[in-house]
Structure 1
């Protein structure tokens, strides 16, 4: 039998937001979990693909990252998504969790 060392087991009441929107080319459906875990970065889940990422303002600026993580077809679509996220995700810097 393997022995596992539990790193954390937290219970937290969180705010969850579900957002669906369209651009001229694509429809998006996201679930956004606002939590104090994970350095304060919201957990963004694409409801269509099941792909998820922890995002902060610097992540949003990286259009290549958004394109890769959410499997977006074009740079223009990634730019549209970045614009959307910049309006709804917190702009405060993430917190140091493991000090």
Structure 2
């Protein structure tokens, strides 16, 4: 373990928003959205159920298929997640 090289180690105060909702597809979303200075204005979005984490900004939300592929959702679920995230990111 003597070969560990620390690239950086920072500490900051972050704001975390927890949200749980069910859309028309009856899919439950349990999310943690972390606002931090680390990712150039983007937010860290964690799907608590699946453990999938993504760094998301407005530009990512507008990328076709981004939410569907990242969070392994169908079209309807991705649209519901988009409708929520577009309001908070």
Give me the TM-score of the superposition, normalised by structure 2.
0.88
Equivalence map 1:55-66=2 (5 Å): 55-66=56-67
Provide the alpha-carbon RMSD of the alignment: 1.4
Equivalence map 1:1-99=2 (5 Å): 3-25=3-25, 26-72=27-73, 74-89=74-89
Segments of structure 2 that go 5 or more residues without pairing to the other structure are none
User: For residues 69 and 6 of structure 1, what CA distance do their matches in structure 2 show?
Assistant: 28
Could you list the per-position Cα deviations for residues 22-78 of structure 1 after superposition, in whole angstroms to 9, with x for gaps in the alignment?
111111010011000022211000011000000000111124121111111x21221
Q: Which residue of 2 aligns with 1:95?
A: none
- Equivalent pairs counted in the alignment come to 88
State the SS of the aligned residue for 2:65: helix
Segments of structure 1 that go 5 or more residues without pairing to the other structure are 90-99
Give me the TM-score of the superposition, normalised by structure 1.
0.80
Which structure dedicates a bigger proportion of its chain to strand? Answer: 2
State the SS of the aligned residue for 1:3: coil
